[in-house]
Amino acid sequence: MRTIDWVDGAVEIIDQTALPGEERLLRLHTVGELVAAIQSLAVRGAPALGVAGAFGVALAARIHVDDPVALAVAVQKVETARPTAVNLARGAQRAAVLIPHGPEAVLAEACAVRDEEIAASEAMARLGADLVAELCGARPRLLTHCNTGALAAVTVGTALGVVGELHRRGRLAGVIASETRPLLQGARLTSWELTRWGVEHRVAVDSAGPFLMARGEVDAVILGADRICANGDVINKIGTYAHALGARRAGIPFVVVAPESTVDRDTASGAQVEIEDRGPAEVTAWSEAANPAFDITPFDLVTAIVTDRRVIRVDRGEKP
């Protein structure tokens, strides 16, 4: 199933905040509803956010067809709903280019963004599975972080798509899904998807990942990205950097899987990226909190980056 789509004049999503307890569909008819869904993480994941951005502009183009000022304001709200993932703004901007040609042209471009992300996921699954087999041999044990399946990418997924492909090939021994604080995307969403696929897995607290690597229980780390900078720095869900350090210490591959749409050649390094802070409410109700949504993994801790078009061997000096 598609976890985000355009259905009968509205954006339809699986509400990721309700999983795993309830499989709830939301129909979003306005830009305000879509922006709220993005900010609450009802829809999340870099590829899915690119699609959401494009569909948000399609909604705006229909609602404000005779009011260019209101339309411009609505597009800007979609672009900036979350600041860190590059896909959201790119998807919105790509659809916005078609505004002079009318709402139907905008919608057609948004649907093209969706279809390209679906194709990209299928390509990444194949390329990534081939690479993991090359790096790790038969039946590796993988650790993944956050959620990178169909929920994050319309269908199939990025890093979790690779996991699914290895499972289909009979080349996977098992998966450790880190719980991913503070909203537990790993424990809630990744575990839900792996269970649906019949993949043997365990959930581990985030801080246990490097220790499990050190004990020899993990053959490779595989995860996604919200932005890949020109130098290869990887911006991804908070906790990624710690797993990269653990993988380097354990001497195991650290593989990033993300579509070409996530590669940001206009940003030189992670130092230029605004890291979203989601405030204390998700962590604590009685004190201030540091709650960055993402961290920056330096390129020299990355073994390889897999996109839908290529494998970039960062460990060999290759750059995005």
Given a contact cutoff of 8 angstroms between Cβ atoms, the answer to whether 38 and 49 are in contact is: yes
Q: How many residues does the chain have?
A: 320
Given a contact cutoff of 8 angstroms between Cβ atoms, the answer to whether 61 and 31 are in contact is: no
Question: Which token pair is 319?
Answer: 């750059």
Catalytically annotated residue among 206, 226, 295, 308: 226
User: How do strand 254-257 and strand 304-306 relate by DSSP bridges?
Assistant: parallel
User: How do strand 220-223 and strand 141-144 relate by DSSP bridges?
Assistant: parallel
Give whole-number Cα distances, 290 to 160, 218, 243, 276, in Å.
Answer: 28, 29, 19, 11
What's 257-297 look like in SS3? ECCHHHEECCCCCHHHCCCCECCHHHCCCCCCCCCECEEEE
Give me the helix-helix angle, 46-63 and 86-96, nearest 10°: 30
Active-site annotation holds for 264: no
Residue 19 phi/psi, 5° resolution? -75, 155
Strand ranges (DSSP E) for the chain? 4-7, 10-14, 25-28, 141-144, 174-178, 201-204, 220-223, 227-229, 234-237, 254-257, 263-264, 294-297, 304-306, 311-312
Give whole-number Cα distances, 227 to 138, 296, 310, 320, in Å.
Answer: 30, 10, 16, 11
Q: Which residues carry out catalysis? A: 226
